[in-house]
């Protein structure tokens, strides 16, 4: 299946507000976890049904409700009804191959973004769609599978950071986005280190295996660029959103967020250019090596042409040939061939052809 766009023929023409999961099932079971907190208390629990989470919509505390696994249509329907989310919102959540985007609704803000993960051994990156629904006192996040990059956020909540605990769902959304973008930069740095190491050894040890490495790294960089570019547009839109759910005090944080995502985007583009340069250098080095080989073969051919001529002349079948029966004729022929070969090598060196 294509890496950039993944869809199936049966989804063509489906209802835009239908609660049908469009994506690859990455989790066997749906996991529902809750972190509910205020400045003094934190409750962290895992529940078995959406019904157990509905009480948090009416409290004055801040709640982070996280859903791992999107394939269960009944659970998604319960979320839609329990938290008053439009079927269009649920349909967007279930479209995991959608482009990162942000939408403002009457009582919530919808944010869709991609999380990156990188396998260092396989030099291969994968992405997972993350959706955040920001409401007044509750943030609902939807992930395709268990496991994410948000442990630093959870640890900050557990460590009773007063600033975090007293902030609202807009600050929680900012913290999650900031972690995602920091992870972009970390993954880019891992890949960038490999690209820079390749640059150092390319001239001395260029081989066909390096061409494959350059192509693989270029594919990864292009893939990351496809994910990071829309994220920059998303952050810019979030900065300019006019909603009571995003407080004025968030502007300074969002500016920092935009700066980080621009850094990630610029770094990706820089490495993309480096890889293009490496590809050009690789072809130049390999071409030079081929030219050296051809030059060496040509020089040897030129050296042996007169020698072959001499042997050919003396190998002709005539009864009457000068010095044919001369006692030192064979030795003279060898001396002549050696002198010619040495003279040509000296001439080539003077011309700097060798």
Residues 274 and 317 in one domain: no
Higher pLDDT: 20 or 185? It is 185
2 domain residue, yes or no: no
Per the structure, the count of domains in the chain is: 2
User: Among the three residues 266, 285, 304, which one is the final residue of a domain in this structure?
Assistant: 285
CATH number reported for the structural domain that contains residue 166 in this entry: 3.30.460.20
192 domain residue, yes or no: yes
Higher pLDDT: 145 or 183? It is 183
323 domain residue, yes or no: yes
4 domain residue, yes or no: no
Calculate mean pLDDT across residues 99-111.
Answer: 90
Residue 13 has pLDDT above 50, yes or no: no
Residues 271 and 297 in one domain: no
Q: Which pairing describes strands 62-68 and 31-37: parallel, antiparallel, or unpaired?
A: antiparallel
Residue 337's domain comprises: 290-350
Calculate mean pLDDT across residues 34-41.
Answer: 90
Residues 239 and 252 in one domain: yes
Task: Specify whether the CB–CB gap between 41 and 95 falls below 8 A.
Answer: no
What's the whole-model pTM score?
Answer: 0.78
144 domain residue, yes or no: yes
Residues 155 and 203 in one domain: yes
Residues 90 and 109 in one domain: yes
1 domain residue, yes or no: no
Calculate mean pLDDT across residues 287-292.
Answer: 78
Distance CA 286, CA 297 (A): 17
Distance CA 181, CA 263 (A): 10
Task: Specify whether the CB–CB gap between 97 and 174 falls below 8 A.
Answer: no
Residues 140 and 204 in one domain: yes
Higher pLDDT: 352 or 142? It is 142
Lookup result for tokens 């630093």: 152
pLDDT for position 133: 95
Q: Give SS3 for 310.
A: helix
């Amino acid at each position: 299946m294509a890496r950039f766009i993944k869809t199936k023929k049966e989804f063509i023409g489906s209802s835009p507000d239908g609660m049908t999961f469009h994506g690859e099932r990455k989790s066997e079971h749906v996991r529902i976890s809750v972190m509910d907190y205020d400045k003094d208390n934190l409750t962290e629990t895992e529940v078995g049904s959406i019904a157990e989470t509905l009480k948090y919509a009416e409290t004055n505390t801040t709640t982070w409700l996280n859903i791992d696994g999107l394939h269960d249509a009944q659970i998604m329907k319960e979320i839609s009804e329990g938290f008053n989310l439009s079927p269009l919102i649920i349909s967007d959540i279930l479209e995991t191959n959608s482009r990162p985007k942000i939408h403002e609704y009457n009582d919530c803000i919808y944010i869709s973004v991609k999380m990156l993960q990188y396998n260092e051994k396989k030099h291969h990156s994968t992405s997972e769609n993350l959706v955040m629904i920001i409401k007044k006192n509750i943030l609902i996040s939807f992930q395709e599978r268990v496991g994410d990059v948000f442990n630093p956020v959870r640890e900050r909540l557990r460590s009773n950071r007063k600033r975090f605990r007293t902030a609202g769902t807009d600050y929680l959304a900012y913290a999650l986005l900031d972690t995602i973008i920091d992870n972009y930069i970390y993954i880019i740095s891992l890949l960038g280190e490999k690209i820079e190491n390749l640059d150092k050894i390319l001239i001395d040890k260029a081989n066909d295996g390096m061409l494959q490495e350059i192509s693989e790294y270029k594919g990864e960089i292009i893939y990351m660029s496809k994910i990071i570019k829309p994220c920059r547009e998303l952050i810019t839109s979030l900065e300019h959103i006019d909603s009571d759910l995003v407080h004025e005090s968030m502007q300074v944080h969002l500016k920092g967020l935009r700066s980080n995502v621009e850094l990630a985007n610029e770094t990706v583009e820089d490495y993309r250019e480096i890889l293009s340069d490496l590809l050009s250098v690789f072809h130049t080095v390999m071409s030079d090596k081929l030219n050296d080989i051809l030059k060496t073969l040509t020089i040897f051919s030129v050296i042996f042409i007169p020698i072959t001529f001499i042997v050919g002349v003396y190998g002709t079948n005539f009864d009457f040939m000068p010095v044919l029966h001369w006692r030192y004729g064979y030795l003279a022929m060898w001396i002549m061939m050696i002198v010619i070969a040495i003279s040509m090598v000296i001439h080539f060196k003077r011309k700097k052809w060798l």
